[in-house]
Chain A
Amino acid sequence: MLIAACTLIANFTAPIEIGTTPASMLWMFPLVASVAIIYKATKLPKITTRNFIKETTVLFASIVMFMIAVAIVLYGFAWFVIE
């Protein structure tokens, strides 16, 4: 039990390895989920499980779609400048 607790605490004292790769962009998903959840938790007048999940999912998908659209535009712009 003590070893497990020490291991758990030790996990927070050294950073994990994340390379500068396209896969590191996947780290945006948990953060987007947090933003969507908190935003909807503050905005909905009454929280019911079904409605909350629905609203949060729609907001999560909207943010992700918008970010993908921006990424495509920026990629196109970068390609245009380089070529």
Chain B
Amino acid sequence: MNWRSKENHLLFLLIVGLSAWVVPGAGYYLLNEKKRAIIVFVTIVLTFCIGIYVGSIGVIDPISSGIPYAGQIMNSPFVAVLAHKTAGGNYPVYSKPNEIGQIYTSISGLLNLLCIINSIYLAHLKKIETAGE
């Protein structure tokens, strides 16, 4: 593999990773794994929506809930838009709805992180297989 193709390969991995972060499942879609992409997209979006339905968008709070927010931001960078909206404490939420909402949104983000890493790995494997043929 010369430096040019290595550079292209790294760029492709970066594109796959970034698109998988921006839209859950998009990384698999780029790799022509459409069934996987649809399953991941529907599951991640549904889990995140259940979380903000239970606890309201107030569960996304980068100021007072930093650790859950680290997981939530892995859903998509668009979560930062919601965080900007809720940053002033306009949507207070306490107790069980807060806990359940944070757990759902954080776990869906961490599951998306798993999918991002897996799609980058699959992209890498496909490149190696193509180079080996």
Chain A contact residues, CB within 8 Å of chain B? 11-20, 24, 27, 30-31, 34-35, 37-39, 41-42, 47, 52
Contact = CB atoms under 8 A, between A and B. Distances in A.
Contact of A15 (B39, B44, B56, B107): B56
Nearest to A17: B97
Contacts of B91: 13-14
A34 B107 contact: yes
Contacts of A20: 95-96
Interface of B is mostly: helix
A57 B55 CA distance: 28
Interface string B97-133: 1101101100110010011001000000000000000
B50 interface: yes
Contacts of A34: 43-44, 46-47, 107-108, 111
B16 interface: no
B40 interface: yes
A37 B43 contact: yes
Q: Which has the most chain B C-beta neighbours within 10 Å: A17, A34, A35?
A: A34
A31 B103 contact: yes
A30 B114 contact: no
A22 to B, nearest CB: 12
Q: How large, as a class, is the contact surface on chain B?
A: 20 to 34
A42 B118 contact: yes
A16 B57 contact: no
Contacts of B46: 34
A38 B36 contact: no
Contact of A42 (B95, B97, B103, B114): B114
Given A35-B107, A41-B36, A42-B115, A13 B57 contact: yes
Contacts of A30: 47, 50, 104
Contacts of A52: 39
Nearest to A38: B111
Q: Which has the most chain B C-beta neighbours within 10 Å: A17, A31, A39?
A: A31
